[in-house]
Chain A
Amino acid sequence: MSYQALYRVWRPQRFADIVGQEMITRTLKNAIVTGQTSHAYLFAGPRGTGKTSAAKIFAKAINCPNQKDGEPCNECAICKAITAGTLNDVIEIDAASNNGVEEIRNIRDKAKYAPTEATYKIYIIDEVHMLSTGAFNALLKTLEEPPANVVFILATTEPYKIPATIISRTQRFDFKRITPQDSYQRMAYILKEKGIDFDQEALKMVAKASEGGMRDALSILDQVLSFSDNKLTMTNVLDVTGDLSQTQIDTLMGTIQANDTAQALTQLHQILADGKDEQRLLEDLIDYCRNLLVYQQAPQVIAETELTNVSDGFKKLSQTFPAARLYRMIDILDDVQQQLRFTNHPDIYLEVLMIKLSAAQNSTESKVHLDSTTAAEPAAAAPDAMVSKLEDQVKALSQQVQQLSKGTSSKPKRQNRATTSTPHKVKVNKAAIYPILDSATRQALNRFKEVWPDLMNMLSITKRAVMNVSRPVAANEHGVIVAFDYQLFFERVMNDQDLLDELKAGLNKLLGDPPEIVLVPHEDWPVIRKEYLQTDRLKSANGQSGAPAAENEAEKVPKGTKKALELFGKDIVEVHED
């Protein structure tokens, strides 16, 4: 026979053994004693609170011939048979595996037959929330008026999944989470029975880690015992549950309080390397923040009701942590806890969390803190509290000052970035345009215009989309001026060195030499040309360069031709003398 888990060995066999559910067990016992049992019960509650156990005990108690005060004797043949699960009249059904209408019909049909050995025929339908809708509805009529001597007990962890029509036909019992104190008592009892020594603090830790489930508590206990040679010490427990030790969490919160992000990250890595559980870490932190808050208001409550003991580090932190910051931290922690459930990168989430928690608080936060303290002032009558609050205020203010001085050093950097990242008007490179215009020829322009579509085809689609709104407007042998229809695209291309290089390379391929490319927005082009012409005229007026040949020639041609040349340019106009 292999080893049996503690929770199976120590499954409650009497109502008195079920811990933390006195209300329910007393009601059931009374019902049995007075013979006022219902024909259908619904046991709902979180995992490990005793639903299935209670159902089995109820089956025994109602059938046991020697029942006393509603408790089964656990000695008669019937009790033993039910415990072993061999009695034909107590039928335990796993609704998760038998969730169809067929199975329910089966139950309905067999329920008609009278019990064979026991007085009552008991159907225990476990995990009943998994029944299909059809199955639930098939059960309705039987549940409302079952044959005599038949009792249905439905057990579930998720009562909200059960149709209202089912719930209204049953007596509903809501099982509570088991308090740490109760599960502590029960485990201490079991350990005593087994003759195992235990460390009280360690057992308290197990009770806390079980989160209200007795089975969880016993599973953890089992694991600790099996891993540690039947000794129960704090380190063993922390190894199994993945909780942080008191000192670990004290120091971690200390570094967070001191806004020491680097240190907080190192500690986080240390904690994770120790194999601590991410969810647990978050829960521990939330718990700790909550305890700090409670301790700030009512120190005696923590010592009295909680299973934790108050360490020195905790006391120190409770004095230095402003309440507003704790509230904010709990909010952040809660957020991350929700997100952690669906991620494959919990460690990275935690790193971000540490940065958020320990990052220097901004000024709005300390303002909030000030507001909250002033709001709370009328309530605080004790002068001591007033003094400490004032101290807090001073601290917060001095922090603010510090941050302000810190802030100034980082500000210029940010502004810098803003200027570079926000698109501003890109200057047209006039110095590059004028030389091209100086020697611009229609032939050169035509040459570029010819290859332009080919160039566009050489670009990738996205780039082509950008360049589609562009066209060459002037060119000489070594350079081309490209105008863009829209300012936006102009700026975009100006900033994109990749694209410019690509254009250059493309033109090089098509024309044989890498030309200079100058970009201008189309709307600015006429202005630039005008400016150029003016400066050019100025130059010629100064007599620094010889007047352009075109003008000299134009003097000789007749007026009409001159006008035509002016309008269309001399490359297009052919003058035929006749």
Chain B
Amino acid sequence: MALIIEQLQPKLVAQFAQIITKQHLAQGYLFAGPAGSGKYELAQWLAMSQFCHHLEQGRPCGQCSECRRIQQGNHPDVIQIKPDNQTIKVESIRYLKSELYKSGMEGNRRVFIVTDAEKMSVNASNSLLKFLEEPASDALIVLTTTAKSQILPTILSRMQIIDFRGLSKQTVYQNFLTQGSAPENAQLAALLTQDYQQAKAWQESAAFNQLLTAVVKWLLKIFKHDDEAFIYVQTLIMAATKTTEDQQLALSMIINFYDFLLQVRYDKKEIMNTSLQQLFEAAQHETVEELADQLNLVLDMSRQLRMNVGFENFLEALTLRLLK
């Protein structure tokens, strides 16, 4: 059985396989790259390679009991820490630290995987420093992150950093097409995700379509410089965003649609999707600089969301600034 990661990041897998055969594996790795680029899968793959009974040229088989236990998250010597909501909680870090100095349950080797490491608090990151510098001899620690720049420089200097390259939107689009998505849907979905399953789920989800129409209507008003956009925030967008994930999605739509509109100016791609076509036509009168400025404004202001500004307040402020 070929593991997913071998298709997702063949080059990195080959490199790691080589390292493993040479027994040159370092003790700490930081996997940095966009969501969906296979960071967690590679971490799991590495963990499997440490325990697999049938290691073949540094590659785990993915089928033996050890590999299966790791895939299911049941292996006692593979410890995974995940953020709970927005942060990695102090309890998780305490648990991690208490585990770091213990020896393995079944063997000596232990693997620690911390996903979204940028969500550790300053305290938590600092308390890991000493361990990362000189880990217990049989520990392998892997941090994954989507935002390398938010990780403490003192941590970065102690880890080997592996940059994962994301897929370009064009490749994602092609992937969706080959997986059987209609060009119209593929073009839109490729802007927002790299995951085909997700794209497919969206296509059938009423909530997604409601959100999409809300965002598109709002953007159309913005391009028309119509004050009603402000009201749409409340009546359309907020009505369609119940959860934080929805809000993230809405923001990602706004940003990526703007980006798309900018891109189209240069590469003159064919626009398949009706919503995108509508936006394209509405934005015709904006110059490239104006669009770029607006996008910059959106990106700039979206930082406020990290500072616990409410989504509605953020959108309303954004609308006012865009309409100015």
Contact = CB atoms under 8 A, between A and B. Distances in A.
A94 B130 contact: yes
A277 interface: yes
B123 A130 contact: yes
A70 B101 CA distance: 35
Interface in A327-347: 339-345, 347
29 contacts: A1-B137, A2-B23, A3-B23, A3-B25, A3-B26, A5-B26, A48-B157, A96-B123, A96-B127, A96-B129, A126-B129, A216-B156, A219-B159, A219-B161, A222-B160, A265-B267, A272-B165, A275-B163, A275-B164, A339-B299, A340-B149, A341-B150, A345-B299, A348-B256, A348-B259, A351-B259, A352-B262, A355-B262, A421-B224
A97 interface: yes
Q: Which 9 A-B pairs have the closest CB atoms?
A: A275-B165, A96-B126, A94-B130, A262-B266, A96-B127, A97-B127, A216-B157, A226-B24, A223-B160
Given A269-B168, A344-B147, A355-B289, 9 more contacts: A1-B137, A2-B138, A3-B25, A157-B153, A215-B158, A242-B163, A261-B266, A274-B165, A348-B256
B306 interface: yes
Contacts of B266: 261-262, 265
B197 interface: no
Interface size bracket, B side: 35 or more
Given A2-B138, A339-B300, A460-B235, A213 B157 contact: yes
B54 interface: no
Q: Is the interface of B mostly helix, strand, loop or mixed?
A: helix
Interface size bracket, A side: 35 or more
A276 B243 CA distance: 34
Interface string A416-430: 110001000000000
Interface string A425-461: 0000000000000000000000000000000000010
Contacts of B225: 421
A48 B152 CA distance: 13
B193 interface: no
Interface of A: 1-5, 8, 46-48, 94, 96-97, 99, 126-127, 130, 157, 213, 215-216, 219, 222-223, 225-227, 229, 242, 261-262, 265-266, 269, 272-277, 279, 339-345, 347-349, 351-352, 355-356, 359, 410, 413-414, 416-417, 421, 460, 462, 496
A421 B127 CA distance: 57
Nearest to A85: B134
Contact of B19 (A219, A227, A261): A227
B269 interface: no
A107 to B, nearest CB: 16
A277 B26 contact: no
Contacts of A46: 153
Contacts, number: 148
A126 B130 contact: yes
A8 B134 contact: yes
A3 B24 contact: yes
Contacts of A226: 19, 22, 24-26, 160
Interface in B258-306: 259, 262-263, 266-267, 285, 287-289, 292, 295-296, 299-300, 302-303, 306
Max chain A C-beta neighbours (<10 A), residue from B15, B149, B231: B149
Contact of A229 (B18, B165, B168, B289): B18
Given A94-B129, A222-B160, A349 B26 contact: no
A341 B299 CA distance: 12
Contact of A219 (B137, B158, B166, B303): B158
Contacts of A413: 285
Contacts of B19: 226-227
Given A47-B157, A343-B302, A345-B299, A355 B287 contact: no
Interface string B150-183: 1001101111110111101000000000000000
B149 A341 contact: yes
Given A48-B157, A222-B26, A262-B267, A97 B97 contact: yes
Max chain A C-beta neighbours (<10 A), residue from B160, B255, B287: B160
B146 interface: yes
Interface string B240-264: 0000000000000001100100110
Given A3-B23, A355-B262, A127 B288 contact: no
B319 interface: no
Contacts of A94: 127, 129-130
B87 to A, nearest CB: 16
A487 to B, nearest CB: 16
Interface string B12-33: 0001001100111111100000
B158 to A, nearest CB: 7
Nearest to A224: B160
B69 interface: no
Given A273-B165, A349-B299, A261 B26 contact: no
B68 interface: no
Contacts of B25: 2-3, 226
B168 A97 contact: no
B148 interface: yes
Contacts of B224: 421
A498 to B, nearest CB: 9
Contact of A342 (B163, B165, B303): B303
A157 B133 CA distance: 15
A213 to B, nearest CB: 5
A279 B149 contact: yes
A542 B148 CA distance: 86
Contacts of A3: 23-27
